[in-house]
Homo-oligomer: A and B are copies of this chain.
Amino acid sequence: MIVAMKPQATEEQIRAVCKKSEAMGLRAHLIYGVERTVVALTGIPGQLDPEDFESLPGVAEAIPITKPYKLASRETKTEDSLIQVGLPDNPVTIGGPELVVIAGPCAIESREQAFAAAASVRKSGARLFRGGAFKPRTSPYTFQGLGKEALEILAQVRQEFGMAIVTETIDPENCALVEEYTDILQVGARNMQNFSLLKRVGRSSRPVLLKRGISATLEEFLMAAEYIMAEGNYNVILCERGVRTFADHTRNTLDLSLIPAVKRRSHLPILVDPSHGTGKREKVIPLARAAIAVGADGLIIEVHPQPELALSDGFQSLHPDEFESLMEQITAIAGVVGRTTVRSAPSPSGTIRE
């Protein structure tokens, strides 16, 4: 149930709606829009009567929501969500006109490697830095990340290069450590339905980058976001990274049609990861262009100073000069879809934007 307050509703009236819904065993979530405030009610499903709320003062209307996801739905919030990330002196907004590119190596291997990667991707226009500290790997016998040592290197990168950090957390217990260091908590594709982890990051103050599971439907993906939001963390950034199909010319099949489908159903921003989405270096740039053209809010790209020496996923990591070329190309595409990148000329003349 969505309870839409009148534009002139007072804080007290809003609190009254929350109090009533809590008395009914529901949880009230406040969604502040530009024009008015909405109270979204979640909890044990059952028959709720709009009348129960429409009779309260300050309430414009109470609307049952038909989708199984409520907080993530455009029915609840029609405006795009803007997620504020970045550092105080380098603020970044995900979901706004600026396309945000997150770049860095698959795994942090050493201070030298991380600094070399950070220096090059920052110069080319990446706004946030990514790098794995804890790596979920198919085999127990392969490199699993440097762990805490990597987190400390990431903190040094933030300090030195002024870039906010994105790194993955792999279980609820591990989350406390990772959130001390990172600016955005990443939940990997294999954990998209690890509901204990979703609930844990839902109680964090950090925004969450949620990757689509390898065979998740759109509804399952939005329900995973809903798990996080239902705990009170509304700063969820979705990420398409390819699905598993019969096709064998790429490691996964990047499903770009998901982007307009998400935009229609949800107010959350969505990025595309063409590195995992294709698993092949030479396809990263063409698919990055396509992702921007289709309407994604940004990209997450693996870049390694020396891909051929990478401890993981080297075959899909870009060379720094390839990443420079990628940024140049997507900046050009951004212009024609009415978006900008940090490299855009001051006044973009593009006019195509749905």
Q: Which A residues lie at the B interface, using CB under 8 A?
A: 42-45, 68-70, 136-142, 170-174, 190-191, 193-197, 199, 214-215, 217-218, 220, 223, 226-227, 230, 243-250, 253-261, 264, 277-278, 282-283, 285-287, 289-295, 328-329, 332-333, 335-337, 350, 352, 354
Given A190-B193, A217-B247, A249-B257: A289 in contact with B294 (beta carbons within 8 A): yes
CB distance A249 to B253 under 8 Å?
Answer: no
Q: Do B138 and A248 touch across chains, with their CB atoms under 8 A apart?
A: no
Q: Is the CB of A227 within 8 A of B43?
A: no
Cβ of A217 and Cβ of B193 under 8 Å apart? no
| A247 partner, pick from B137, B223, B248, B255, beta carbons under 8 A | B255
Measured in the bound complex, the distance between the Cα atoms of B71 and A141 in whole Å is: 12
- Please give, as numbers and ranges, the residues of chain B lying within 8 Å of A220 by CB-CB distance: 138
Contact B244 A215 (CB under 8 A): yes
CA distance A14 to B200 in the complex (A): 45
Beyond A171-B197, A196-B174, whether A138 also contacts B223 by CB under 8 A is: yes
- Tell me how far the C-beta of A138 lies from the nearest C-beta in chain B, rounded to whole angstroms: 5
Alpha-carbon distance between A293 and B42 when the two chains are bound, in angstroms? 41
- Which one of A197, A259, A293 has the highest number of Cβ atoms from chain B below 10 Å of its Cβ? A293
CB distance from A22 to the nearest CB of B (A): 16
With A138-B223, A290-B256: A194-B171 Cβ-Cβ less than 8 Å: yes
A256 touches B254 (CB 8 A): yes
Residues of B within 8 A of A294 (CB): 286-287, 289-290, 293
A120 CB to nearest B CB, Å: 20
Asked whether, in the complex, the Cβ of B290 is within 8 Å of the Cβ of A291, the reply is: yes
Query: Do A171 and B170 touch (CB < 8 A)?
Result: no
User: What CA separation (Å) do A136 and B213 show in the bound complex?
Assistant: 15
Q: How far is the CA of A70 from the CA of B139 in the complex (A)?
A: 10
Residues of B within 8 A of A244 (CB): 215, 246
Which 5 residue pairs spanning A and B have beta carbons closest together? A171-B196, A293-B293, A215-B215, A290-B290, A332-B336
What's the Cα separation between A215 and B213 when bound, in Å? 10
Known: A191-B194, A286-B354. 11 other contacts (CB 8 A): A42-B140, A136-B195, A139-B226, A140-B227, A217-B247, A243-B253, A253-B253, A254-B257, A256-B256, A286-B293, A333-B336
Q: How far is the CA of A216 from the CA of B295 in the complex (A)?
A: 28
A174 and B199 CA atoms in complex are apart in Å by 14
**A172→B170 contact, CB < 8 A:** no
Knowing A170-B196, A289-B293, A294-B290, the reply to whether A257 touches B253 (Cβ < 8 A) is: yes
Closest Cβ–Cβ distance, residue A224 to chain B (whole Å)? 8
